[in-house]
Amino acid sequence: MGNDKKRILVVEDDESITVGLTLNLEAEGYAVEVAPDGEQGLTLGRARRHDLVVLDLMLPRLNGFEVLRTLRREGVETPVILLSARGAEIDKVMGLEFGAEDYVTKPFALAEFLARVKAVLRRDAIARPGVVDRVCAGNIEVNPATREVTRDGQPVALTATEFDVLWCLVEARGRVLSRDQIRDRVWGPGHHGTKRTIDNFVLQLRQKLEVDESDPILLVTVRGVGYRFAG
């Protein structure tokens, strides 16, 4: 694949897991770089030379939440899949709120993990077609070709999944979408995310796009049904 290889950063301190992931990801045609702790993972993640970061939560020096939160705060939008031996709902919610695209609980089936990697990379690479070059709503402008969003003319940093959730609502042209419809359009019908997952992404978008997130005028809740874009 040469220079067309997708580059994946694996931040994991368990050597046996690192070796297994590296061998299998390379067998799938990916170029893999490894960081054994959170500090090194953050340094490499800041370089923005990867297409995906696979990030363990329980790391020495800096934990995965700290690495993810710092990357997103600094505007690094590289998609992130979190790995954790803890399957608690609160950990999944926190990971998604901090800007992760997916969350995989250890131990995991390798085939499912590789499928999730492909799905995240595919979503991140989608150039959504359409006859409209950009959509303007009040002080917000959404460009599906470049996957860029501006507010009052200033760029808004969205993760790949945040943009996908926003665009599926924009693309619905004012129609109400249920949480299940949003999930199926963004992640695919086989994804195990909960309705709370959708709510969290809408909350994140409101924080970045609405003048008053407590009284949204763009991303509107239709009680008992779902959400619509009212731009």
Looking at domain 2-125, does it have CATH number 3.40.50.1820?
no
Taking residue 219's Cβ as centre, other Cβ atoms within 10 Å add up to 22
Q: What is the CATH number of domain 135-229?
A: 1.10.10.10
Do the Cβ atoms of 205 and 228 come closer than 8 Å? no
pLDDT at 125: 65
Q: Which helix (H) or strand (E) holds 149?
A: strand 148-151
Strand partners, 32: 8
pLDDT at res. 89: 76
Residue 133: its pLDDT value, please?
59
Helix H or strand E segment including 77? none
- Look up the pTM and report it: 0.58
Q: How far is C-alpha 123 from the chain's CA centre?
A: 9
| pLDDT score of 92 | 80
Whether 179 contacts 199, CB under 8 Å: yes
Q: What is the pLDDT along the chain (231 residues), one digit of tens a residue?
A: 345 688 999 999 999 999 999 999 999 999 999 999 999 999 999 888 899 999 999 999 999 999 999 998 888 889 999 998 876 778 888 888 888 989 998 888 899 899 999 988 887 765 334 445 578 888 899 988 778 899 988 999 998 889 989 988 988 878 899 998 888 888 776 666 677 889 999 999 999 999 998 999 999 999 989 999 987
Domain coordinates in residue numbering, the chain: 2-125, 135-229
Say what the pLDDT of residue 98 is: 86
